[in-house]
Amino acid sequence: MDGLITELPRASDRQSRVRRRPSLLRWLYRQSGILLFVVLPTAAVATYMLGFAADQYMSEARFVVRTPQTVANPASGIGALLGLGGGPTAAQAESFSVGDYLDSHDAVAALDRKLDLVKMFREPEDDPVFRLWDAHPSAEELLRYYRSHVSITYSQDTGITKLRVLAFSPRDAERIAETLLELGEARVNELNRRAVEDTLRVAREEVFAAEDRVTAAQKAMTVFRLKQQDINPEKTSTAQLDLVAALQRQLAQAQAQQLAMGGSIRADSPQTVALSNRIRALENQVAVEAGKLTGASSALAPTLADYEGLALRKEFASTNYNAAQTAFENAKLQALRQQLFVVRVVEPNLPEEALYPRSYVIILTVALSLLIAYGIGWLILAGVREHAA
């Protein structure tokens, strides 16, 4: 009897366990939706993020593009608040262009040539999610991956461009940031070279044209001198004028002497005859020498006019050449004053702690997103069932 009594509770225990098993299965069945759509995906993400995701290190640098002469932005003060004023300054525009270059195919290609960028982005073999998948990516694929790891932001308030680089090792992050700064500096130097060439090209062409005009005037002067057999017709005509003036003075003196002798000496006296002959000779000589100035087609007057025209052309060409040379030097100085240069505000750092990926933030975000999506789906399904009932 006692044995029977002791066996009864054991039978009841087995019945209670049998009843509990269906209730546990029933509970699991009821929670299968949240387990399948929320818990299991979250657990998978957590397992990967905490066990397999590779650490990513961030190196940061900051730089600003300056000119030797700081130019104020017209859109400042009240004008800036009202949205008035001109566009960005030259330094701002070049900062934008440098940032655009560092975010372009050209910068990625240059980085890949210098650092083997593909190898750097494929180093964590145990992390197929965050590393670069393709060993031979296309240019577009590499650019997309590069942009997910490199960010360039420009501050309108400070004019500083911030560069952030993510890589799977601290040294790689620092090397990429340093190389990008070097590429940016090279880009600015290239922009300076083009600006100087564009600025000086017109001035240099004007100097060459003025030099050609001076050379042409000099050649024309040489041809004229060889043709006229006269080095300087201007000085020759001056000497001829002096000769005519001297002869005219002698003639005037002789004529005055003849008048003075007219009342005291006979006209047939040897002295009077000699003086008359001298006067006639001087008159003939004056006529001949004056004729050399203006009396014939080969006279000095038209030759001197042609020479003075050539001399004026040469002088004008020389003046134009000197002005072109001055303009060229001024353009060169102005171009040098307007050159841009990169000032490194913050050098690329060697990171010591991995800041990415933010595993717990990602896990929590995934869990909340799945839970919200599951709740919305459950409410929709419940509403459909209630409407169908």
**Same-domain pairing of 66 and 186:** yes
Average pLDDT over residues 35-55: 82
0.75 exceeded by the pTM? no
Does residue 26 lie within any of the structural domains? no
What's 185's domain CATH number? 3.30.1890.10
Q: What is the pLDDT of residue 292?
A: 55
> What range defines the domain where residue 112 resides?
56-75+85-201+337-360
State yes or no: pLDDT of 204 exceeds 60: yes
Q: Tens digits of per-residue pLDDT, 165-176?
A: 999 999 999 999
Q: How many CB atoms lie within 10 A of CB 175?
A: 20
State yes or no: pLDDT of 388 exceeds 70: yes
Find out whether 95 and 64 touch, Cβ atoms under 8 Å: yes
* Separation in Å, CA 289 to CA 173, 284, 294, 302: 95, 9, 9, 16
**Same-domain pairing of 191 and 62:** yes
CA-to-CA distance for 324 and 328, rounded, in angstroms?
6
State yes or no: pLDDT of 150 exceeds 90: yes
**Same-domain pairing of 189 and 280:** no
Q: Tens digits of per-residue pLDDT, 237-291?
A: 666 566 667 767 876 776 777 676 766 666 666 776 676 777 777 677 666 665 5
DSSP line for 100-129: HHHTSHHHHHHHHHHH-HHHHHT--TT-TT
Does residue 28 lie within any of the structural domains? no
**Same-domain pairing of 61 and 197:** yes
Does residue 18 lie within any of the structural domains? no
Q: What is the pLDDT of residue 273?
A: 67
Residues 6+ apart with CB under 8 A from 300: 233, 236, 237, 240, 292, 293, 294
Does residue 169 lie within any of the structural domains? yes
**Same-domain pairing of 66 and 148:** yes
**Same-domain pairing of 277 and 351:** no
Does residue 23 lie within any of the structural domains? no
What 8-state DSSP symbol labels residue 356? Answer: B
Which carries the bigger pLDDT value, residue 268 or residue 43?
Answer: 43
Q: Tens digits of per-residue pLDDT, 307-323?
A: 677 778 888 888 888 88
**Same-domain pairing of 268 and 191:** no
Does residue 46 lie within any of the structural domains? no
Does residue 131 lie within any of the structural domains? yes
Average pLDDT over residues 82-87: 45
Find out whether 129 and 136 touch, Cβ atoms under 8 Å: no
**Same-domain pairing of 329 and 352:** no
Which carries the bigger pLDDT value, residue 112 or residue 93?
Answer: 112
Residue after which a domain boundary falls, among 335, 350, 368: 335
**Same-domain pairing of 180 and 238:** no
State yes or no: pLDDT of 19 exceeds 60: no
Number of domains in the chain: 2
Q: What is the pLDDT of residue 58?
A: 93
Token pair recorded at residue 119:
């190898």
**Same-domain pairing of 165 and 193:** yes
Does residue 383 lie within any of the structural domains? no
Give the best-scoring range by mean pLDDT among 94-98, 132-136, 214-218, 346-350.
346-350
Please, which pLDDT band fits residue 141 given cuts at 50, 70 and 90? very high
Q: What is the pLDDT of residue 239?
A: 65
**Same-domain pairing of 64 and 195:** yes
**Same-domain pairing of 187 and 143:** yes
Average pLDDT over residues 281-304: 61
